[in-house]
Amino acid sequence: MGYGYMAKQTNTPEDWRFLAERDMSVADHLANTMVPVPTEIIAFHCQQATEKYLKGALTILGEEPPYIHDLDDLCSLAEKHRPSFVSISSLCTIITQFSSQPRYDRGVDLSEDDMRLVLTHTKTIRDFLHKEIPELFQ
């Protein structure tokens, strides 16, 4: 008996939003229930949620989301369609650093206050997208 699965290709805004919301749910759950708080894992899920929200937005804007994790690059692509994305670019710069290294580096020392700031930045980006690209949340 095999335990493999066939991954469904993510290519619709709804798919991206669904996956982003799963990452947000995990981040919120871990932040509110685990002791000690796994700060680097929460930050990773925040980065993943932001990446997926941005890729969903890019899909709506007519861009094929590239296979990258750099939130700065994703935000810049969206900015070409909507200059207002410049308002979240600094938040993307902060969050993008948590794309993979924290999962593999036991030396990461992210304070709980800093993790909560990353969580807040992620929610700020989600709220921005909700206003700027409401179709993503329908």
The domain that holds 91 is classified in CATH as: 1.20.120.330
> Which H or E run includes 59?
helix 39-60
**What is d(CA 17, CA 46) in angstroms, rounded to the nearest whole number?**
13
Residue 109 falls inside a structural domain: yes
* Predicted pLDDT of residue 98: 83
Per-residue pLDDT of 61-104, as tens digits, reads: 999 999 999 999 999 999 999 999 999 999 999 999 887 655 55
* Confidence class for position 122, pLDDT limits 50, 70, 90: very high
* Predicted pLDDT of residue 67: 93
User: How many C-beta neighbours within 10 Å does residue 56 have?
Assistant: 26
Residue 127 falls inside a structural domain: yes
Domain with 118, as residue range(s), is: 13-137
Residues 6+ apart with CB under 8 A from 64: 58
Residue 4 falls inside a structural domain: no
Residue 117 falls inside a structural domain: yes
CB 85 within 8 A of CB 63: no
